[in-house]
Amino acid sequence: MTITTWYLETTDPAELRPGREPEGAVTLVRAEVPSPELSRFLYTTVGGDYQWIDRARWSTDEWRARVADPNVETWVLYDRGTPAGYAELESQPGGEVEVVYFGLLPGFLGRGLGGHMLTEALRRAWDLGARRPDREATRRVWLHTCSLDGDHALDNYRARGLRLYRETTEEQPVAEGVGG
């Protein structure tokens, strides 16, 4: 299978083009208590249809180490109290923040929540240095997405002001027993 990966970035918070505000009580909340079970649930539920496999075989200890890493923040989108999606941010050297994972749970797709959640996740990435004085001020926010991700992922990233800086194409075997 041929997979294209797009790498996108933003280097100025003023480049953010906010998504539309959703209807109802929708909030993005940081999961401040490290929970390997919550992170595993979000990862497998959001990524199940997109062949997210890099963490599929992680042990509870590996998940625990990831969520306890002081450079990692998990942000959960709630729609009227129900988890609807999440973003994992990782603070990196040089004032960079990577949006490592981002996505909605299947039952919340197609409702316009993705643009709002990405807007809020990018705001959290940009203010990470101000919220966490032990971190450098954010100078760059970046992420990557690929042709296995949701149909609207790349468009959402571009619509929020992220710009393409690299594209790769490679052949990969189809993962067995993965996906929805």
Is the distance from CB of 114 to CB of 152 less than 8 angstroms? yes
What percentage of the chain carries pLDDT values higher than 90? 82
Q: Which stretches within 7-145 are classed as H helix? A: 36-47, 60-68, 113-126, 128-131
CA distance 99 to 9: 10
CA distances from 36 to 33, 39, 52, 72, 74 (A): 10, 5, 17, 13, 11
The reply to whether the predicted model has a pTM over 0.85 is yes
Domains along the sequence of the chain with CATH: 2-171 (3.40.630.30)
Q: How large is the average pLDDT for residues 31-53?
A: 94
Q: How confident is the model at residue 178 (pLDDT cuts 50, 70, 90)?
A: very low
- In angstroms, how far is CA 86 from the centroid of its own chain? 6
pLDDT at 7: 98
**Percent of the residues in the chain that have a pLDDT greater than 70, as a whole number:** 96
